[in-house]
Amino acid sequence: MTQFSETSPIFEREEVLREEHYPDDLPERKGEMDDLHMSLAPAARGVGANNVFLHGKAGQGKTAAAQAKLSELQHHAEEESDHLNLTTCYVSCESHDLSTSYKAASRIYQELTGETRPTGYATDVVMDMMFEAMNDIGGTIIIVLDEIDTLGDDDRILYSLPRARAQGYVDDHVFPSIIGISNDLQWRDNLSPKVKSSLYDDSVLFSPYDATQLQQILRRRAAKAFRDTDLVPVDGPEPSRPADDGDESDSSDDAADSSDDAAPPSADATATASPSTESRSTASAATVEPEANEGRSPEALSATTDTVASDEAEQQTDATIEGTPVQVDNSGQEYIFRSEILTDDVIPLIAALSAQDTGDARQAIKYLRKAGELADKSDEPMVAAEHAREAQALVEREAVVEAMREMTTQAHLALAALTALELSGDAPVRAKPIYGVYKSIASEVDADKLGQRRFKDHLRELDMQGIADGEKVAAGSIGGPAWQYQLQVDTEIAVEVLKDTTRVANINFKTIGDDRSLP
Q: How far is CA 330 from CA 31, 266, 313, 369, in A?
A: 11, 10, 28, 27
Which residue type, as a one-letter code, is found at position 19?
E
Contacts with 451 (C-beta within 8 Å, 6 or more apart), sequence order: none
The DSSP annotation for 147-182 comes to: TGGGGTT--HHHHHTTTTTTTTSS-TTEEEEEEEEE
Q: CA separation (Å) from 332 to 3, 49, 123, 261, 498?
A: 46, 30, 52, 17, 54
Torsion angle defined by CA atoms of residues 437, 438, 439 and 445, in that order, rounded to the nearest 10 degrees: 110
DSSP-derived letter for residue 41 is H
CA–CA distances in Å: residue 445 to residues 109, 176, 184, 519: 42, 51, 35, 24
Q: Are 82 and 209 in contact (CB under 8 A)?
A: no
What distance in Å separates the CA atoms of residue 335 and residue 230, rounded to the nearest whole number?
A: 9
Using DSSP's 3-state secondary structure scheme, residue 230 falls into: strand
- 346 vs 219, 224, 420, CA distance in Å? 10, 16, 40
Q: Is residue 363 within 8 Å of residue 354, measured between CB atoms?
A: yes
DSSP state of 259: B
Distances (CA, A) of 356 to 158, 304, 343, 465: 35, 11, 21, 17
User: 209 among the known binding-site residues?
Assistant: yes
d(CA 306, CA 286): 9
Give dist(CA 317, CA 474) in Å, integer: 52
420: left (phi over 0), alpha (psi -120 to 50) or beta: alpha
Q: Among 398, 415, 405, 406, which Cα is nearest to 491's?
A: 415
Question: Annotated binding residues, as ranges?
Answer: 209, 221
Question: Annotated binding residues for ATP, as ranges?
Answer: 209, 221
